[in-house]
A = this chain, B = another copy of it.
Amino acid sequence: MAGNLQVRVAGRPTGIPQAEHFAIVDGDVPAVGAGEILVRNLFLSVEPAMRGWLADRSNYADPIAIGSVMRALAVAEVIESRASGFARGDRVLGWFGWQVFAAAGPAAVIRTIGDPDLPPSLALGVLGLNGVTALLGLEKVGRPVVGETVVVSTAAGAVGSAVGQIAKRLGCRTVGIAGGAEKVAICREEFGYDAAIDYRAPGFEAALAAACPRGADVYFDNTAGPISDAVHRHLALNARIVICGTASVASWDPAPAGPRVERTLLTRRASMGGFVVLDHMDEFNAASARLAQWVREGKLNYREEIVDGIEHCPDAIADLYAGRNFGKRLIRLEKRA
C-alpha cells in the first residue's frame, strides 16, 4: 500500500555515516496491533550518537540491522491509538525512526509532550536527549561546584551549549571551545560563556590556558582528539572529565593514537568517565521538566536548525560531524507527507 517514506540502512559505515549508507524507500503504512499506537512523525532527530548505533561491534546500543529503518527519536502525533493512555492527537516523543508513519508499543514512547507553551520540537533537543545528556552528564560525572572552571568542547552544539549554560547557573566559570569565529561569537553572546575559543585559530592552546588561569576543574568532552589533548594539559587538581562524545575522531576502527593519559590523570588526581544518557532514562522526564522550566524563565537558550523533508536525512549525520550545523539539527516532515 506504500505511502510511508522511510530511510533505511543500506550499508554499514566504518567511520562517519554518509548518504550512501542510507536508502529512501516508499514503505507501507504499518498496521496497528493491539496495545500499539500509530503515529505520524512531525520532527525527526539527528544525533552524533547515530554513528555508534550504526557501528557493527560492541557498543552502547545494539547495532541497527541492514535494511531496517534508521533508529531515531522523533516527535510525532498519534493518529490512531489501540494503547491505553494515548489518544488521537496526542503529541509524543519516542523511538519512531526515520520514517513518516510508525506503529509503536508503549516501550518505544518516552513521554507524552505536555508543555503546550513550548515548541514540540524542543523535545528532541534542549528538552530531549541533548539537554538531558548535558544536565545529567554534568551532574553525575562532572560534579561541578561553585567557583570551578568548566571547559566544554563543541560548546555551541546541542549538548555543549546546554552544558555551558547549566554550569554557569551553578556558579561556575565557563569556557567554550568551538570551531570558527561565528560559533565562538554565538558561545559568548547566546550561551553566556565567560570565554570562548576557536580551536582552529592560531594560539588555541595559549588562549585556553589564559581562559583557565587555575586550570580546568571539569572538562565536558564532546570531541576527543587534539582538542582534548590540549585541555588535558591544563587540568586542575582533582579534575573530572566527562566523556560524552568523540566528534573529532573520524574513525575508531582502529582507535587512533594519541598521548597516553595515565600520567596526567595520576599527577592531577583526575578522572575520566564515560556518560551515556540511555543508561538514565528513568530520570529523563524529571530532568526534562527542570530544563523546560529554565527555558520558560529565559535562562536556557537553544538553537534549532530545521530542514524540511525526509530527503535530508541521509546527509544529516555527516553534516553534524563536519560542524556545518548551528544548533540542533532536525528534519521536519510536512503534514502533506
Taking beta carbons and an 8 Å cutoff, which residues of A are in contact with B? Answer: 52, 58-60, 141, 221, 224-225, 228, 243-246, 249, 252, 254-276, 279
Contacts and interface: CB of A to CB of B under 8 A. Distances in A.
Which 6 A-B residue pairs are closest in the complex by CB-CB distance? Answer: A271-B273, A266-B274, A255-B259, A265-B274, A224-B262, A257-B257
Nearest to A270: B274
Contact of A260 (B59, B249, B265, B267): B249
Nearest to A269: B274
A319 B314 CA distance: 58
Contact of A224 (B59, B263, B270, B279): B263
Contact of A258 (B249, B257, B272): B257
A262 B60 contact: no
Given A255-B260, A257-B259, A260-B258, A266 B243 contact: yes
Contacts of A252: 263
B256 A260 contact: yes
Contacts of A270: 273-274
- The copy count of this chain in the complex is 2
A52 B257 contact: no
A209 to B, nearest CB: 13
Contact of A263 (B246, B266, B271, B279): B246
Contacts of A279: 269
B257 A260 contact: yes
A272 B272 contact: yes
A240 to B, nearest CB: 9
B243 A60 contact: no
A277 to B, nearest CB: 11
B274 A271 contact: yes
A266 B262 contact: no
Contact of A246 (B254, B266, B269, B272): B266
A95 B79 CA distance: 76
A251 to B, nearest CB: 10
A254 B229 CA distance: 13
B261 A52 contact: no
A216 to B, nearest CB: 14
A243 to B, nearest CB: 5
Contacts of A268: 274
Given A266-B244, A267-B59, A224 B260 contact: yes
Contacts of A275: 266, 269
A252 B265 CA distance: 13
